Amino acid sequence: MIHKKSIGIFDSGYGGLTVFKAIANKLPDYNYIYLGDNARAPYGDHSYETVYQYTLECVEWLFEQGCPLVILACNTASAKALRTIQQKVLPVKYPHHRVLGVIRPTAEVIGNYTASGKIGVMGTRGTINSESYPIEIHKFFPELDVVQQSCPMWVPLIENNEHLQEGADYFVQEYMDQLLEKSPDIDAILLACTHYPLLIPKISKLLPEGFKLIAQGDIVADSLSLYLVNHPEIEELLNKDGEKQFFTSGDHLVFDKNASIFFDKEVMSQQINLKI
């Protein structure tokens, strides 16, 4: 069977759908396959080795479905697995495939959002402890002060659809306070986890006027659009029927119910089995 060539989009669970939504708006003609590894999410506290193994397995599955290009729409996977996949796996096993992450495109533009030169980065423990953001941001904006805050309770709240309940206020306030205590001069915050845009209604209530809250969807969509222009050898492989397919390693009925909240549209997924 000849597979149509699609762009693969991967996340540990639902968060990548906030990025996929922006990509599908910007580039509606391409075919896409989304894979959420819901059975093994969240990835935030897993070791490097585990995140790498899980991510590689999902990327290889997307390659098998006919995706020559895969976007890791997950900061944790981008921080802990992308480099090894790009440097050790692709050249040896898949020289014609490409895998891109969300950290570098964000780092390339993030300095443009702050006037004070101090930016907050909020993410999972895995992303924050990897130091990937300060390292990548300083390549493009060496003077920028990057103040990090891990928010380990936010993904579980969101994955369990509790993020808009009153009970979530405590954890939103707690991590915001911790961040702003470290540096009161921050004037922009990057939501460096693709789940966090769902908390924007609660986070924005706590921010002083003029503060910038940055989600990654549009940044990644712009960067992908430019990548396709600059890489005709990949772009020419891709079919353009505007088809979107969704797969999950978890329960597909649960996925469909929750995914529509992240994607803002009805989603019908299929369940796949990955090694657990």
Angle, in degrees to the nearest 10, between helices 16-26 and 252-263: 60
Question: Residue 76 or 148: which CB sits closer to ligand DGL?
Answer: 76
Q: Which stretch binds ligand DGL (CB under 6 A): 2-10, 26-34, 134-142, 193-201?
A: 193-201
Residues 169-200 as b or e (16 or more Cβ within 10 Å = b): eebbeebbeebbeeeeebbbbbbbbbbbbbbe
Instruction: Give dist(CA 157, CA 168) in Å, integer.
Output: 7
Which tokens in the block code for residue 63?
Answer: 């390659």
Token code pair at residue 233: 């050898």
Looking at the Cβ atoms of 75 and 223, the one nearer to ligand DGL is: 75
Task: Check residue 43 for interaction with ligand DGL (CB under 6 A).
Answer: yes
Q: Which is nearer to ligand DGL, 67 or 158 (CB)?
A: 158
Nearer to ligand DGL, 122 or 186 (CB): 122
Q: Which stretch binds ligand DGL (CB under 6 A): 137-145, 166-174, 192-200, 245-253?
A: 192-200
Which one, of 51, 32, 61, lies nearest residue 263 by Cα?
A: 32
Kindly tell me which of 117 and 156 has the beta carbon lying closer to ligand DGL.
156
Which residues are catalytically annotated? 74, 193
C-alpha 49/C-alpha 151 separation (Å) is: 21
Q: Is 55 in the site for ligand DGL (CB under 6 A)?
A: no
- Smallest distance from the beta carbon of 142 to ligand DGL, in angstroms? 25
**Mask 128-157, x = binds ligand DGL (CB under 6 A)?**
---------------------------x--
Phi, psi of 264 (to 5 degrees): 65, 15
Shortest Cβ 192–ligand DGL spacing (Å): 7
Applying CB under 6 A, does 127 fall inside the site for ligand DGL? Answer: yes
Site string for ligand DGL, 69-88 (x = CB under 6 A): -----xxx------------
Site membership for ligand DGL, residue 124 (CB under 6 A): yes
> Could you give the CA distance from residue 234 to residue 56 in angstroms, rounded to a whole number?
20
Helix 16-26 vs helix 217-230: angle between axes, to the nearest 10 degrees? 50
**Sign (positive/negative) of CA torsion 185, 124, 51, 159?**
negative
CA–CA separation, 148 vs 30, rounded Å? 35
Q: With contacts defined by CB under 6 A, name the span among 11-19, 132-140, 240-248, 265-273 that binds ligand DGL.
A: 11-19
Residues that bind ligand DGL (CB under 6 A): 11-13, 15, 41-44, 74-76, 124, 127, 155, 193-195
